[in-house]
Chains A and B, each alone.
Chain A
Amino acid sequence: MDLFPQFLANGLVMGVFYALSALGLTLIFGLMRVVNFAHGEFYMLGGVSGWFVTNYLGLDFFSGLIVVAVFMAAVGWLVDRFLIERVRGQGEEPGILLTIGLSIFLVNGTLLLVGPAPMKVAGAVAEGPLFFGPIAVTKLRLLAVAVGIALIVGAHLLIRRTRLGAAMRATFQDPMAASLAGIRTGHVYAATFALGCTLAALSGMLLASIYSAQASVGGLISLKSFVVVILGGMGSFAGAIAGGLLLGVAEAMWGGYVSMGMVDVIGFVLVILILLFRPQGLFSIRTERA
């Protein structure tokens, strides 16, 4: 029982990153209705490009973070304008296939360029642990969590307080009415996709500073992000955060008390149960049902 607070802290730390990545997916999957199987690859690209800018361009962690954010936003914008836009409004199938193709391309292209070895992003602070009573957390983790929380708050302010955010909310309520009101919905879709892509990538870079980035990590991250989005409710901002923390803590508890091997099964069992008993998600703002 004495390890409980430590498991809880570890779970919350992981949960912040799940939440950040899922926040990106809740925009793309929950609002834009693109079943994006390349989401984990955006996460992976964040980690790999983070490694590239800190190791090869010699930038420090924070300017690296900004460079990666700008780069991945551009990638997301281009992916939407050149690929996703062409299958918009045709149901989910073409989108699924398109993003599967994109993810195969991105994983293997990355493998071709940088190889399969794990890549460590140089962190901003030293590795030393900090003790809060019975809990030990490294400084690096604490900093990454703080940056993660700041990014979540930033995304929230962007959606709630800016003109772009208002245009997004209008577009996803009624695209026709929004375009009649003079909103360029094509740009809004691309901006939303870019934002979702950037959030995933930054989550990937932060986590790569704690662990390491690998070209093949994307598949599991995609699936876990879907799990968190469905757990929290499609398109729900608060739901993605709560779902992410819940998954992180549930996995840490299961890993700590039951078995380490089966830890990834938790998310999938949760999602099956949620879809059976509460298909609108735990915190959905809409009463939409599956």
Chain B
Amino acid sequence: MTTVPSSHDQTALERELAAHLTEAVQLDMDPLDIDPNMPLFGEGLGLDSIDVLEIALMVNTQYGIKLESHDDNNREIFHSLRSLAHYISTHRPG
């Protein structure tokens, strides 16, 4: 019998991204404890726009993806760990 993963479980990419993320914004929590659906900005993880900048620079370094400011989807991309991981998996070069 296989167990169906709960929507609160991190995928492999989310796990890796969570580790990079907590390091980039010096978040004092275990990356594994981040609920992938929890909002990153404001309420939720309580990140601010400087953290978002840190994350964008980290994503650029780690995954070679440039996040542009004029992208109207920024609010969606940075909504949660899951949405950011989804964006990375669909925009990874190569």
- The reply to whether chain A is a binding partner of chain B is no
Residues of chain A touching chain B, judged by Cβ–Cβ distance below 8 Å, are none
